[in-house]
Amino acid sequence: MVYKSASLIYNCTVINVAKSYGDHLLHVEVGEIIRAHSENRTDIRSVARRLIVWNGIRRIMDLGCGYGWFEDVLEGSFDLIAGIDCLGENGPPFIRSAKKTAREAIFKMVTLPATTDFPSDYFDLIVSAYSLYFFPGALPEIKRLLRPGGIFVVITHSESMLEEGERYFDFKDLRKVIENFSAENGKAILKKYFVDIASIDYTNTLVFRKGEGKDLARYIDFKREFIKKDVDPDLVRAKMLQELLKNGEVRLNKNDRVFLVKK
């Protein structure tokens, strides 16, 4: 009998869940659905960008970079943008996005937390957007990589994002993932490694109305790897579509928080 270590089991779980983000075109499509149904019309990436003092930022690292979602809205000119992700298929779209503003773009397929081969005190800005709850154990490496005076930006979910679904289903495993690093506990976790920590709340609700069931179904299907350890995703989709038909509207909590950390 072969026993897997806890870290190996965790890494396998992360990779399985992260597969949701391996389809570049689907990820972009769902991003458009989120924007179309958001009550908050301000892009959260714009909120994060306004918090950053960009003078002196030449080298950027994006952890859990996906296809380059954050890089798609960057402006200016940089020496290097490096992306780390556990899915190799995200490499080509990330490089395309990063090259729009960076002289050099690098993608590395790594399952975090792990040691990277970049020098210490190397990056001016490190970003982790909707990903740090997968690898909070990477914080010591993040601190090593960030130069003195450098900035670490985290965009993460509120634990309240599950409140509508939990009226009908028990998402205990999904909740454990979110609680690895959430809006509610993020500051306490960051304080173990950093002193200068600020944050801003991003309040939002996704609203699906009569006739918009296709978008609602697509959004839920995108989350199926998150959902399926707790509940059959088809049951979740059917229930939420039923609620849409019955009530004429489904509202889903999409509150997030942006942390701005200085080393």
Q: Is the model's pLDDT at 2 over the cut of 90?
A: no
Mean pLDDT of the chain: 90
**Per the structure block, which two tokens stand in for 256?**
């997030």
Residues 6+ apart with CB under 8 A from 54: 76
Angle at 181 (CA atoms; ends 175, 186), nearest 5 degrees: 130
Q: pLDDT, tens digit, for every residue of 39-83?
A: 999 999 999 999 999 999 999 999 999 999 999 999 999 999 999
Model confidence band, residue 12 (pLDDT cutoffs 50, 70, 90): very low
b/e per residue, 133-151, with b = 16+ CB within 10 A? bbbbebbebbbbbbbeebb
Percent of the chain with pLDDT over 90: 79
Residues 6+ apart with CB under 8 A from 227: 171, 174, 220, 233, 236
Nearest to 113 by CA among 180, 57, 175, 52: 180
> Is residue 189 a contact partner of residue 136, using CB atoms and an 8 Å limit?
yes
Instruction: Specify the higher pLDDT residue, 16 or 7.
Output: 16
- DSSP readout, 98-160? HTTTEEEEEEEE--SS---SSPTT-EEEEEEES-GGG-GGGHHHHHHHEEEEEEEEEEEE-GG
pLDDT at 173: 87
H or E stretch including 81?
strand 78-85
Domains and CATH numbers, the chain: 6-262 (3.40.50.150)
> Is residue 202 a contact partner of residue 34, using CB atoms and an 8 Å limit?
no
Beta pairing, strands 78-85 & 102-109: parallel
